[in-house]
Every structure is written in structure tokens, then in C-alpha cells.
Structure 1
Amino acid sequence: MKKFGNVYLIAAISIIGGGLFGFDISSMSAIIATDAYLRYFNQGPGDASGPTANTQGGITASMAGGSWLASLCSGFISDRFGRKTAIQIGAVIWCIGCIIVCAAQDIPMLIVGRIINGFCVGICSAQVPVYISEIAPPSKRGRLVGAQQWAITWGIMIMFYISYGCSFIDGTAAFRLPWGLQMIPAIILFFGMMFLPESPRWLASKDRWEECEEVLILTHGHGDPSSPWVAREFQEIKEWIEIERQGKATSFLTLFSPRYINRTHIGLFAQIWSQLTGMNVMMYYITYVFAMAGLTGNTLLVSSSIQYVINVVMTVPALLFVDRVGRRPTLMIGSTLMATWLFANGGLLASYGTDPGPGGVGGIKEASVQVSGAASKAVIACSYLFVASYAPTWGPVSWIYPPELFPNHLRGKANALTTSGNWIFNFALGYFVPPAFINIKWKTYIVFAVFCVAMTIHVFFLFPETAGKPLEEVTEMFEDPNGIKYLGTPAWKTSSVAKKTQELEHGIGLEKKIDDEHSPERVEEVAKQDV
């Protein structure tokens, strides 16, 4: 079967796996406030009270719970069967989950279907960044891996408007139809992956060297076997595979050894902090937030959808500039801005909010504070600004960064572990937020604002710059040159080397690079460190 080597096409197809997560977010956020959903899954005293706050938190969080478990397992699937096959397995699982969700007769069946959907999202969210990072040239790696976040934002926006349109349908079709339509992108993903090459680094790890070189020629050499960049990349992969095989067997425990614990901690927190910004909470429960601002009915849904458009548009700058600006500045600017808008929203609700009573605003009990007038407009504006700050910063970079930190033999398992951190906190926050809005009201915003301040400090002191560096060179930032300690370079002293990498991609200085970095002495030195 013919394989396509354009890295942008490869990314465009594979990131559909990320788009599935976006479909799930908005299919839930757009539906939980509709009359059809509230009546069918009603647990309250009224005919349309809907699930209790704790139950709704469990329904929403069930997908993240399945994602957490599957993301941990995805490393084994990916290392055993390949990056492509792992993504295709995820697509099949998604279709199964959608069938169950679409046919849900009660809340337990709905939760089971969402857990199965979560299995797919866990596999794809962990292994799509690995696949793209292993196949993309260093100077384009950030924008291509970050495109997964862009796919998520497109999935959120498209599914929201589908769900909004279906909300005008009478009966249970109002929510069954959008839940069923979620299968379409997964089908496209499954068949589209058939026309893409396997990761060259995974092929090398299985001693399929001819195929590895063919993929590099196809993707990096544009079909030219004599390309100097292909020669350099193939040589580097080959020598690092030899080095890695002289070390000990790898497992999840290896990630917590003195050599890798710093990288593991950074990768985990890149994903954990992305959740503790509060962004996915804003996505799942934005209808609650805008209900507090006095919006109701169609106005509520349309106003909520504007943030999804902002999310799509504002992710584009990251794809264009993240490889130039670097990972560190992008993350620190984003978390500082988000803290500002969260503190502002908390202050507005605390100062101008009134208690609407136990029934909440417009029957939405989670909308436990109500503001009006100028304060209402300010809450909406700060919510939009929060999304505009997250979209070009923590959104894409939290997916770009972790796969860059680890060597080839650990990348699949490492990204599985770091992504599991994303999903376990997604699960916890999805469950926590509905009762939090009821019990601590505006203070919910303050909690997330404090997290944003903490992550700014954490990034400055401990997150090194990886932009533009070939994957095999990132190790040098973490390891002592003498191989005695594994302290590495201080994070604030690291910088992007995109210019040098672009020169290497065009063959400039190729011979010197190979001679200096992959001499027999250097190979022997790193092999001793692994042992």
C-alpha cells in the first residue's frame, strides 16, 4: 500500500486521535444543561432536575478515569505493536464506546460507555505525540505535535455546534444523535493511518533498519536517498539504539531511577499543571459559569460556544511560533496571564455576587452565585481572556514537551506515564468541580489561580528548554558531563538551538556533528553511564 511522507499530512491524520477528546468535552458540556438530558437522566425531585451534582461529576469524570488506565497501558501496546497500530486500536475502541453511550438506557450504561471512550482517548493522547515527535524533523516538531491540541479545539467547537443543533430535536435524539456522530472521526482515523509510515525510531528498535531508512527518506529526504539530513538522522538513531541496548532492561521503574527521575517529574507536571490551570473545567462546565453571569437558554449556549471559537483561533499562534519562542517562555507567560483572569473572576463573584438560593440560577444548582450588570460582562470577558491565554500556551505545549524529554527506548512508556498524570487529574477535577461550585462557590476560581502562580515558579526553576533540539541531544541537558551525577544544566540556563538544528537539516556541519557527538569514545562513555 502506498505510504505518504509529507509530515504535515501525517500530523493532520494522526491528530484526529486528539480531536476525539475534544468531541467528548463539548458533547458533554453542550448537553448537560439541555431539557432532554435533564429529564431522561433525572435524579431530582422535579421532572427535569437531572443527575445530582455528585452523579454528574462522576458521569463527566468517568471518561477521564478510563483514559488514565488506558494511558498507562498504552506504552506496552505501542512498544509491542507499533505507534500506528496503537492509534488504530484506540480508534476501534472509540467506536465501541460511542455505540454504548448512544444507546445508554440509564446512568450506569452511560458511565460504562464513557469509560470505554476513555480507553481510546488514553491510548491516542499518549501515543499520537510520541508518533509525531519520532517522525517529525526537530525544527517542525513543536508545531506538528502541538497540532494535537489544535485538533482538540476543533473537535470541541465542531461537536458543540452539532450538539447545539441537535438540542432543538424532540426526545432523546437530542443527545443520542451527537453521541453517535462521534464515531465518524474515529473511522477516518483508522483508515487514514493505513496510508502513513510507521515511526522510524520504533522500526529501529525492532531491527527493521531497511524500513527505518525508507521512512526517513520518505519523510525527511523527500524521496532523496542521498540527503545529508537522512544520513545524519539514520546514523544518530543507529548509534543511540546501540548505546541503549548496552544498558539495563527498561520498565516503568526505570523512569524513577536517579538517571531519569528529574525528567519523569518534569514530564508528569507538564501534564498535571495543564489540568490544574482549570481549562478543562472551563470547557466541561462553562454553561455553569455563564449561568452565574445571568445567561439563559439559547443565549447561554451561544455565548458558551464563543470560547470554543477563541480556543481554535488562539491555538494557531502557538503552532507558528512555539519552535521559535521556545517552551519555557510560552508556559510562563500563559500561566501568569491565566492567574490574572482567575483572580479577577473570583474577586468579581465575591464582591458583586448574590446567593440565588439552593436551586441555583435558572434551575442549575451548580450556578451558586449570580452577578448582573457590569460585573456580569466582566466575568464573561475574563472567561474569554482565560481561554485566549491557555490556547497558545499550556494547551499545545503540555503535549509537545513530555515526549521530547526521554530517550528512544523509554519514550513510549514515559509518555504513557506522563499522560496518565493528565487523566488522573482530569478525572479528579471533573468530579470535584460541580460540588465545589455548590460548596465553596467563587473560591473555586481562587484555588486554580493559586495553582497558576505555582506553575509559573516551577517552570522557571525546573523546566529546561527543548525547542529545536534533536531528540537524541536532549539527554545532555539532564546529565552531568562526567557521568558522576545526574544533575544536568540549570533550567534557566538552557536555550533553544533551533538555528543550529535547521543548519544540520540542510547538511551544514554534518560531518563535524557526527564526529563530535558519536565518536567511539562518546559511545563508550554513555554506555558506561547506562550500566
Structure 2
Amino acid sequence: MPKGTKFHFSNVYLISGLATLGGLMQGFDVASMSAIIGTQQYKTYFNKPGSVLQGGITASMAGGSLLGSIATNLTGDRFGRRDSLAIGCVVWIIGCVLMAAVQNVAMLIVSRMINGFAVGMFSCQAPLFIAEISKPERRGRLIAFQNWMIGWGTLIIYFISYGTSFVDGNASFRIPWALQMVPAIVMLACIPFMPRSPRWLAAQDRWEEAHDVLASLHAQGDRYNPLVLAEMKQIKEKILYERDTGSTSWMELVKAKNVMRVQCAICAHLWSQFSGNNALMYYIVYIFQMAGIDGNRQLIAGAIQYCISVGVQVFSFTFMDHYRRRWALMAGSTLLLTWLFAAAGLMANYGHTVPGGLNGVPSVTWVVDNGAASKAIIACAYLFVASYQLTWGPIGWVYPSEVLPMYIRSKTTSIGVGVNWVGNFALTFFTPPAFQNIRWKTFIIFAVFNATSLVHVFLFFPESKTKTLEEMDEVFAQSIWAFKIKHTQSRLVEDVVEVQKNVGAAAADVEQQFEHTAKDASVRYKEL
């Protein structure tokens, strides 16, 4: 590191892990309600909230996240990705303090909205930050790590909540709600030692700092490493080109050259949400009650589902950069609609109505008493979460970060994540009344959403695997129809060769600098 440069971590995996603590907190927020709403302590203290009120309590987090995703557009461009994460940590800690001290439903809703505001900031800035510090061949798995941390968050807080469910009184839910602040404290303490995004630094004309950070992250501090020089060349060309041909106004998002990229980024978030995963995970206890699972068995069944989610994601982020985004999304939509239709069919054929709701829970008005059918429904739930976490779960966050140019990246990501949280709010609010009124038909609605996403991805989502962030212009310039676009190798390897020649380096070293490329570095458009 050059003399006078402030110390920061240089291990990209460590930095990405710290950035994705925001995902851990998002997972906390999901499971801290799903594990607690079925406990007697919660129902007694908050006077057994009805389906609409419970939907409002749960959805309040998504409402706050919408506001946070909008606010982060201002902080992301002005203060940078790293400092936006710091602001999110402070907001999260405030929300956790209020949530742990909650006195009534109104205070619970407000505290969850504050926590949601922080989650909205994390969900926007963490994927962007990771995308902008990563090499193309590692970018997918590192961003997917964010989704894995969401899974870990749900699992950890679910088990904590399960343990505290045996504690008498309101301490059973205050303890897990207070413990949620721990990751924010750790992250806030480490942020001063995390580098700023080199692409954000370059956009601020802080070229030397950007060069230093890239060298530290990708070449152990060697500013003259051919890969670093090639990346700096691409970043500089792209930023200067964008300044000459574009602007930073909101109107850039609807210009012809950007509209396809914007709709891809936004709709990736939309379909990830409307797949039904988050809405169903919030109310997994209700689903298992509908399947005839009661008492502690439903909490154990829910814990198994969260374990599957975390376990599957190990495979997902490990092999993320070995399979194409486009085909994985289409496979995911197909599998998800299959499990949803299967669960709906089983409930329709083997269930019956429960007037007034099961055990005083107004949202559970349909129950399956057949043992084999109940097990099959639970199997569908497990297969659903596994399929989601292999496909839409991680790629729904990776893909938007890969398809956008720098000058509209923050604005579009803000809108995309905002749409995500609008969908989250609507579906989270809608699900309890839907279970109460249309029962198993709720699953059919989500299945139709997945069928629609399958068609949309096939028509309009081009492949982004292995491309640098600066090369996606060429991809979208080929055609508006994604199925007509040819997937090609990244140009970065050629730039490395050119730089090596200029600095007198041996061309044989190219593969060591850019490990995923083909042996023949001179072939620019070889199809995979």
C-alpha cells in the first residue's frame, strides 16, 4: 500500500462478509416475527392480533425498507456505499432498542419500520458495494453471500426465539429482539477499516485512491499489475463516456438506451418477491398449522426449513459463477410454480374448513388431517425453499447489480429495491387475510406469478455471467429479445494482454491474472 494511504482490509472475502452483515440483520427481522407470532406469550401480550392487524405488524418492516431504499439513493451517490452502510447500522441499533422496549402494538410497528429503514439501506448498498470491489469471475458468489447471510439470520434468530419461547412472560420475545443489534455493532466497528468502492471513488474524480484500492483488492497492492491497469482503463473509459453522453438525472432511466436495463434490474427484484418465498417464510408457522402440524412440532418443522435454506445456499454461492443467470432464473420459476400447484392440490383434496380459525388463530381456517397429505405438503414447502435459494434467492440480488451502468446504478437499484419492498409490504399484508378467506388458493396466485416471471425472463433477460460491469452496454445493444443475444467472453482478458505488452510482461501470465478465461486469450467472442 502506498505511503500515506489509510489502512484498510484488502481481503475481498472478508470485506464482502462484513458488508453482508446487513443481510444477517434482514434475516433477523424476518424470523424474529415468524418464530414468535405463534407463541402464547406474544398472543397474550399483544391481545391476539387479528389477521389484518398481524399483517400490518409484519408488513411494517417492508414499509420502512421502502423508505430506506429511497433514502439510500441520496446517501449512496453523495457519501458512498461504505458510509451508507454505516448510517444503516446506526438506524438499526435505534430500532432494536425500541423494539426490545416495546409497550404496545403501535410502538412495535414504529420500531419495525425503523429497522426496516435500515434493511432498505443494506439491501441497496451491500450488493452494489460488493459488485464494485469484486473481480468478474468472483462477483456472483460474493453477492450471493448476501442472500446466504439472510438465511443465516433467519436460522439464528429462529433458534434463539425457539429457546426463549420456554421463558415465561414478555422476556420471551424481548430477548431475541434485543440481540438483533449485535451484528450492527460489529459492522459499525469494522466499517472504518473497509475500503471505499473504487468505482465510486473514480466517479468522484479520486483516481489515485481508486487505483490504490483496486491494487490492494486485486493485486496485493501492486499498482502496476496488468489486471489492475486493465480494470482502471475500463473504468476510466466508461465513466468518461458516460459523462460525455449521459447525465445523472432521473430522466436517464427512461431513455431508449437504458430502459431495457432498468426494467431487467427492477423486475428481477419484483419477481424475486412475487415468487412468494418471503411472504410464505414470514407465515411458515401458519402453513404448518394448515398442514396439521401443531405445538412445538411446527416450530421444529420451521427450523428444518431454515436449515435447508442455509444448507442449499452453500452450494448456491459456491457454484454461482459456474452457471448462467438467465437459465437458472427460468429453472427456478418452473420449479417454484410446480411445488406451489402441488401444495394447493393437496390442500384442496385433503383439507377442510375450520370456522373461526384453528386454536383462535383467525388466519388458519383450513386444515389437512390426512397424515400422508400433511407430509407431502411439508415436503413441497422444503422443496420450494431449496429451489428458491438455488435460483431466485441469490440471483435476484446478483443480476440487478450486473446489468446497470455506473451513472444510473444507484438510482435504478434504489427503485428496484423499493419495488421489492413494495411487493414485500403488499404480499406480507395480503397473506394472512388470504389464508383466512381464500385458503389454499393463495398458493395458486403465487404459482401464476412464477409462470409470468418464466415468460418474462425468457423474453427480456440477457445473460450477464462473466461480463465486467463496463461491458454490459454491448450485450444490451445486440437486441431487445434476450433469446437472440449471444453470450460471449469478457473483453477484459484482451485488455490485460494489451497492458502486459505495453509494460513488457509475458502474455503467458494472463490466465493467472484472470482465472476464468479461455486458454486462447485472443478469441474475444467465443461462445460458451
Would you say the 8 A contact 1:251–1:413 is kept in 2? no
Would you say the 8 A contact 1:139–1:468 is kept in 2? yes
Measured after TM superposition, the shift of residue 309 of structure 1 is 0.4
2:481 to 487, 490, 499: 490
1:87-140 CA-to-partner distances (Å, cap 9, x unmatched) read 110010000011111111111111000111111000110011110101100111
Distance 1:21 1:508, change over 3 A: same
Would you say the 8 A contact 2:133–2:217 is kept in 1? yes
Structure 1 letter corresponding to 2:211: E
1:131 is aligned to 129
Unaligned runs of 5+ in 1: 43-49, 481-487, 514-531
1:22 to 18, 27, 50: 27
Identity over aligned pairs, percent: 48
Q: Secondary structure at the match of 1:20?
A: helix
Distance 2:498 2:359 in 1: 67
Matches within 5 A, 1:31-70: 31-42=36-47, 50-70=48-68
1:449 is aligned to 447
2:294 is aligned to 296
Structure 1 letter corresponding to 2:194: L
Distance 1:347 1:363 in 2: 26
Measured after TM superposition, the shift of residue 365 of structure 1 is 2.2
Residue 173 (structure 1) aligned with residue 176 (structure 2)? no
Measured after TM superposition, the shift of residue 509 of structure 1 is 5.5
1:222-246 CA-to-partner distances (Å, cap 9, x unmatched) read 2222210000001111111111111
Distance 2:493 2:249 in 1: 36
Residue 459 (structure 1) aligned with residue 457 (structure 2)? yes
Matches within 5 A, 1:116-265: 116-265=114-263
Distance 2:89 2:140 in 1: 24
Structure 2 letter corresponding to 1:164: Y
Matches within 5 A, 1:430-445: 430-445=428-443
More deviation in 218-227 or 175-184?
Answer: 218-227
Measured after TM superposition, the shift of residue 253 of structure 1 is 2.8
Q: Secondary structure at the match of 1:354?
A: strand
1:47 is aligned to none
Distance 1:382 1:461, change over 3 A: same
Structure 2 letter corresponding to 1:110: L
Would you say the 8 A contact 1:23–1:156 is kept in 2? yes
Give the TM-score, by structure 1 length: 0.91
Distance 1:267 1:303 in 2: 34
2:427 is aligned to 429
Measured after TM superposition, the shift of residue 249 of structure 1 is 2.8
Distance 2:262 2:501 in 1: 32
Distance 1:414 1:365 in 2: 39
Would you say the 8 A contact 1:130–1:403 is kept in 2? yes
Distance 2:465 2:498 in 1: 20
2:519 is aligned to none
Q: How many residues align?
A: 497
1:520 is aligned to none
Would you say the 8 A contact 1:328–1:465 is kept in 2? yes
Distance 1:83 1:504 in 2: 30
Distance 1:458 1:328 in 2: 11
Q: Secondary structure at the match of 2:368?
A: coil
1:302-339 CA-to-partner distances (Å, cap 9, x unmatched) read 11111100000111222122222110111011110010
Would you say the 8 A contact 1:204–1:238 is kept in 2? yes
1:266 is aligned to 264
Measured after TM superposition, the shift of residue 512 of structure 1 is 9.4
1:242-264 CA-to-partner distances (Å, cap 9, x unmatched) read 11111343123321222211111
1:319-372 CA-to-partner distances (Å, cap 9, x unmatched) read 1222221101110111100100000000011111011221x2233221221112
1:391 is aligned to 389
Would you say the 8 A contact 2:226–2:500 is kept in 1? no
1:333 to 324, 331, 334: 331
Distance 2:237 2:501 in 1: 16
Distance 1:352 1:406, change over 3 A: same
Would you say the 8 A contact 2:341–2:447 is kept in 1? yes
Structure 2 letter corresponding to 1:361: L
Structure 2 letter corresponding to 1:213: H
Q: CA RMSD in A?
A: 1.7
1:100 is aligned to 98
Distance 1:338 1:216 in 2: 40
Distance 2:493 2:244 in 1: 31
1:202-229 CA-to-partner distances (Å, cap 9, x unmatched) read 0011111110000010011122222100
Would you say the 8 A contact 1:129–1:400 is kept in 2? yes
Distance 1:440 1:508, change over 3 A: same
Distance 1:396 1:122 in 2: 17
Distance 1:501 1:128 in 2: 26
2:362 to 357, 361, 365: 365
1:527 is aligned to none
Measured after TM superposition, the shift of residue 511 of structure 1 is 6.8
1:517 is aligned to none
Unaligned runs of 5+ in 2: 1-5, 503-528
Give the TM-score, by structure 2 length: 0.91
Distance 1:245 1:512 in 2: 29
Would you say the 8 A contact 1:252–1:414 is kept in 2? no
Measured after TM superposition, the shift of residue 477 of structure 1 is 1.6
2:520 is aligned to none
Distance 1:222 1:166, change over 3 A: same
Measured after TM superposition, the shift of residue 510 of structure 1 is 5.0
1:313 is aligned to 311
Distance 2:132 2:168 in 1: 48
Would you say the 8 A contact 2:31–2:155 is kept in 1? yes
2:284 is aligned to 286
Distance 1:234 1:502 in 2: 11
Distance 1:53 1:252 in 2: 39
Measured after TM superposition, the shift of residue 155 of structure 1 is 0.4
Residue 8 (structure 1) aligned with residue 13 (structure 2)? yes
Would you say the 8 A contact 2:231–2:492 is kept in 1? no
